[in-house]
Structure 1
Amino acid sequence: MPLPADLTARLSLPLIAAPMTGVSGPELAVVACRNGVIGSFPTHNAANVEVLDEWLDQIGTAQSGHPDAAPLAPNLVVHRTNERLAADVDQLVAHGVELVITSVGSPEPVVERLHAAGCLVFADVATLRHAQRALEAGADGLVLLTAGAGGQTGSANPFAFVRAVREHFTGPLVLAGGISDGHALLAAEALGADLAYMGTGFIATTESLAPEDYQAAVVSASLDDVRQTEQVGGLPANLLAAWLESQRAPMVSAGDFQAERLTNGRTVWSAGHSVSGVHYACSAAEVIDRVRLQYRDARNQLLEMPCR
């Protein structure tokens, strides 16, 4: 199944403002949606279920006067240690969310309930095996976590991963990892993705929940300043080296993911390889406008290239 026409008609770019722990909130999601980009945030960024309800109310009110705004796509951690999962799903259903992105496990526990409410489910995956399992569980689309994605990441080359999945799946694909500008976004489409994630590019924005020192570190960093580790959350994640080197807390064992670590108030400085494309802090709307111009320029450059 391709992306629904009523969804694509509301997009000005084939882009999702990626859900980021400690960064994405209602303000960032609203600005993204109003500017034709799918907005998102992890539900665990809301301190509790009551705050999640307030956030969804806030977003719904902001969107009420903008019927052509892009959809919201909250992110659910579906790992067995997420004690809020059922209650968070209840809120998403009650608020009529159109699209949900699942992370850290099979979407099976939530697919039936969300589908019954008319909600599409995209699952993020980092391997071909996980992609197949997500589709067998009923996922409508896949978010491919590739090498260089900020925060939780994968290790597969994006060119190889997208093409390998496209051999067997014709439905919606989202490429996550390394999307720093409109040129990379167009390249993701040429590769076979329907949409792409941009996360790191939205960290240093007015609407971001990230503290000022984190935003400043993103602006000053390059991709050489990104390190992959499993010792912070238990799963492979790309983080800023400066933050990692400053930590004194005990590191966790590889594979020991616990959902409660996402809500313990600790700010983790995640960033992907696309950090090299962040040169100054600005509004989220300015980021989107810049990507839109770059995307048009990239398309025009391709049209002007001679056939070989």
Structure 2
Amino acid sequence: MLKARTLPTVLQDMRIPAVAAPLFIVSCPDLVIAQCKAGIIGSFPALNARDEPGGPVLLEIWLKKITEELDRHNQANPDRPAAPFAVNQIVHRSNDRLERDVEICAKWKVPVWITSMGARVEVNDAAHSCGGIALHDVINNTYAKKAVGKGADGLIAVAAGAGGHGGPQSPFALVREIREWFDGPLLLAGAVSTGEALLAARVLGADFGYVGSPFVATNEANADPVYKEMMVKAAAEDVLTSSLFTGHPANYLKGSLTRVGLDPDNLPPDWDVSVMPDDGPLPKAWREIWGAGQGIGAIKSVGPAAAVVDRLEREYRDACERMREII
């Protein structure tokens, strides 16, 4: 039997042990709402809410829409309430919106905060000030200890095979090292695209799997239709790791590079990893060069986000039954 761990209230009573990862550009209110209504935590990067010059603050509008729609759902379905939602804050020095966005998220009492590209005490404090919890992305044990030392309530272990900015370590090594000293909430990212992978994450010691790529190929996702179809047709061998486009190692679809005239097998030298190029001549990461994790072979069609959650639950329950037979 898997050892039960006492989790913060906001992370309890999930339909399955899965959290939807925040996908840059792709995640939007419609996708988050669909994920939460389907019974898993939905999330989006705060930077996805991009204001038009002179226009309203879009992050406020998004949080109002998500909060009110989930509240209506919960009132109409008291026996099947939606899961909570999360907002991802990029804490890197290049994010000149961070202070403003943190204030807005605290105002709207965002229940789950996900921080990436650095750890900040003041961001964790803001999450706690409104009753939320803070989960931090890490790619190794050293960063994990730093994040917890700065007040993170939980960790997201980003292992090899994760879409976007992924880590280089095997999940077998990364989760084990973190669990030797950390007993708080732990999520595992890295090719978690099936129910079997969710169960494997639990067996390793994680509380949740962090699911990203399958939600690109959904009706609600803010993704180019060509991107969605490319995700359906691709497999793990169609994913390439490169630091070229952001200055940090990330996993991309080879087909998206070919589409903009680049040769995946003959890319220019990588940028210095200490910088994050934003105005260079290369095609832009995420908008033109599309992220993907190595678990994309599980994506067979484009459809509703709820159907992805249904599939994950079915596969997870079946995998649990098989494990019971084995042990």
- The alignment partner of 2:113 has SS state of strand
- Residues 192-220 of structure 1: per-residue CA shift (max 9 Å, x gap): 00111110011110000011011111111
Amino acid of the structure 2 residue aligned with 1:33: C
Say yes or no: does 1:303 pair with 2:324: yes
For residues 230 and 272 of structure 2, the distance between their equivalents in structure 1, rounded to whole angstroms, comes to 26
Say yes or no: does 1:218 pair with 2:231: yes
Task: Map 1:23-62 to 2 at 5 A.
Answer: 23-48=26-51, 50-62=57-69
Moved more, 251-260 or 145-154: 251-260
What is the aligned partner in structure 2 of residue 85 from structure 1? 98
Say yes or no: does 1:18 pair with 2:15: no
1:268 aligned to which of 282, 289, 300 = 289
What is the aligned partner in structure 2 of residue 3 from structure 1? 7
- The alignment partner of 2:44 has SS state of coil
1:107–1:123 Cα contact (<8 Å) kept: no
For residues 125 and 9 of structure 2, the distance between their equivalents in structure 1, rounded to whole angstroms, comes to 23
Task: Map 1:162-201 to 2 at 5 A.
Answer: 162-201=175-214
For residues 242 and 298 of structure 1, the distance between their equivalents in structure 2, rounded to whole angstroms, comes to 32
User: Aligned in 2, Cα 1:44/1:209: closer, same or farther, shift over 3 Å?
Assistant: same
What is the aligned partner in structure 2 of residue 202 from structure 1? 215
1:81–1:259 Cα contact (<8 Å) kept: no
Amino acid of the structure 2 residue aligned with 1:253: W
- Residues 230-275 of structure 1: per-residue CA shift (max 9 Å, x gap): 00111110000111234469886131444967x9983431000001
Count residues in correspondence.
305
Moved more, 207-216 or 250-259: 250-259
Task: Map 1:100-115 to 2 at 5 A.
Answer: 100-115=113-128
Q: CA deviation at 1:161?
A: 0.5
Unaligned runs of 5+ in 2: 75-80, 263-267
TM-score, structure 1 length as denominator?
0.93
Amino acid of the structure 2 residue aligned with 1:12: R
For residues 218 and 144 of structure 2, the distance between their equivalents in structure 1, rounded to whole angstroms, comes to 32
For residues 5 and 22 of structure 1, the distance between their equivalents in structure 2, rounded to whole angstroms, comes to 29
Q: CA deviation at 1:127?
A: 1.2
What is the aligned partner in structure 2 of residue 130 from structure 1? 143
- The alignment partner of 1:40 has SS state of strand
1:151–1:271 Cα contact (<8 Å) kept: yes
- The alignment partner of 2:156 has SS state of strand
> Share of identical aligned residues, percent?
39
For residues 265 and 286 of structure 1, the distance between their equivalents in structure 2, rounded to whole angstroms, comes to 24
- Residues 10-47 of structure 1: per-residue CA shift (max 9 Å, x gap): x1011111101111111110011111100001111111
Q: CA deviation at 1:178?
A: 1.0
- Residues 172-208 of structure 1: per-residue CA shift (max 9 Å, x gap): 0000011121111011011100111110011110000
| Alignment RMSD | 2.1
1:21–1:42 Cα contact (<8 Å) kept: yes
Say yes or no: does 1:141 pair with 2:154: yes
TM-score, structure 2 length as denominator?
0.88
- Residues 97-120 of structure 1: per-residue CA shift (max 9 Å, x gap): 111000011132411222122210
For residues 251 and 244 of structure 1, the distance between their equivalents in structure 2, rounded to whole angstroms, comes to 15
For residues 136 and 217 of structure 1, the distance between their equivalents in structure 2, rounded to whole angstroms, comes to 41
1:189–1:195 Cα contact (<8 Å) kept: yes
